Chains A and B, each alone.
Chain A
C-alpha cells in the first residue's frame, strides 16, 4: 500500500534556483521522512520530521509538515547539479510497522 504521493512527478530547474517537492498522505502518522536516490543506487535518508513538529532544517533542506492537511514539503535552496536525483517521502504510520514510501519526484538540476 502506498501512503505518500509526491508532487510533481518530475521537476526541472536551473542551478541556483530553489526546488520544492510536495508529499500528501492519507492516514495519521508518527513521523514523515524524506529520502534521496541517485540513479541506480540505494536511498539515502535526508531528514525526519515528527508529527508534532511543523518545520525542520538541515543545511540547504527545509521540510514542513501540516498534519491538518496531511501534507509535507521539501525545499532545496540554491540547488546544484549534484542535487539531481529522485526524492521520496515515507511515512511511519504506527511506530511498529515499516515505512510506506511514495512514488517519488525526479529532480533535474541543469547547470
Chain B
C-alpha cells in the first residue's frame, strides 16, 4: 500500500533540545512538504522540496531545518531556536510541485515543556 508515514505519532521533548520528525513516502512523488497546524488553525508551510537535494523555505521556516537526501525521505528538525514548537506537524507529498493534490501523513504531535 502506497502512502506517507510519519513517526512517531506523539513526541515529547524538553525545552532547549533539538528534535527530528520523520517523514517517509513510497509514492514515488517528487515534491514533499512540511506544514504546522496549531489548534483551530489552518496549515502553515514550513519547508518544501520539489526535488532531491533542493528545498525552499515556507512562511514560517525560522527555527526549523530540513534535508532531502533521498526522494523518499524529508525529515524535519525542530531546533531550540523555535520559540513555540508545540504543535501538530503534517508532512505531505505530491507527484510534482505546484498545485497538484497533496497526500498527507497522519501527523506528529510534538509537545515541548
Contacts and interface: CB of A to CB of B under 8 A. Distances in A.
Interface stretch (A52-60, A62-70, A75-83, A101-109): A101-109
Contacts of B98: 30, 92, 94-98
Interface size class of A (residues with CB under 8 A): 20 to 34
Contacts of A103: 40-42
Interface string B70-98: 00000000000000000010101000011
Contacts of A45: 101-103
A99 B105 contact: no
In terms of DSSP, what is the predominant structure of the interface of chain A?
loop
Interface size class of B (residues with CB under 8 A): 20 to 34
A43 B99 contact: no
Contacts of B33: 98
Given A92-B98, A94-B98, A98-B58, A41 B107 contact: yes
Contact of B90 (A33, A42, A97, A102): A42
A31 interface: yes
Nearest to B90: A42
Contacts of B109: 40
B59 A101 contact: no
